[in-house]
Amino acid sequence: MLQAICVFCGSSRGVNNAYETAARAFAEVAVRRGIRLVYGGASVGLMGAIADAALHAGGDVVGVIPRGLVEREIAHPGLTKLHVVDTMHERKAMMAELADAFVALPGGLGTLEELFEVWTWGMLGLHAKPYGILDVDGYYSPLIDFLDHAAAEGFIRPSQRAMLVIENDAMRLIDRLASR
């Protein structure tokens, strides 16, 4: 049973309003299922939108933010719990420790780095937690095509590629992660 999902997403809202709509919907689905959200602790961008939506729906939201980003990413003041750590490495390790699964919503380099790190950790057997992508409006389609290409070219094993769950619907994504 999933008790906490770590969400990786942008500190920007992006140009497509569907990204924020999907982030809010994901938060609401998670809260309805009694799932706590763990994320990077910011009040801006999709990070802030998902936290605000979960809190508004009565959910628990735990943020983890490095001291150096408290002002830059504007640490969210209303979270259930905010952990301030010293480094990005500590941030990612704590978020991973606090979560039962990982989900990437639209985001930039930080989101991609976090997703690929937990995927690599899973492939190396450092954890057995499921992870996936919420592909909003085809945002991740080019990346998914590349991953399929890398698998076809022999750089990602089919079993490794299959470890990444991809859905465009929050409820289906959570269902699939919960069944792993």
Q: What is the pLDDT of residues 158-169, one digit of tens each?
A: 999 999 999 999
Predicted confidence (pLDDT) at residue 73 exceeds the cutoff of 90:
no
Residue 70 has what pLDDT? 87
User: 158 vs 103, 135, 149, 163, CA distance in Å?
Assistant: 20, 20, 11, 9
Share of the chain above pLDDT 90, in %: 96
Q: List the structure tokens of 33.
A: 């299922």
Q: What does the alpha-carbon distance between residue 166 and residue 120 come to, in Å, rounded to a whole number? A: 16
Residue 1 has what pLDDT? 85
Number of C-beta neighbours around residue 78 at 10 A: 12
Mean pLDDT, residues 105-119:
97
Domains of the chain: 4-178 (3.40.50.450)
Residue 120 carries which side chain, given as an amino acid letter? T
Residue 45 has what pLDDT? 96
Residue 37 carries which side chain, given as an amino acid letter? L
Q: What is the pLDDT of residues 15-69, one digit of tens each?
A: 999 999 999 999 999 999 999 999 999 999 999 999 999 999 999 999 999 999 8
Q: Whole-model pTM?
A: 0.96
Provide CB contacts within 8 A for 59, sequence distance 6+. Answer: 27, 30, 31, 35, 36, 37
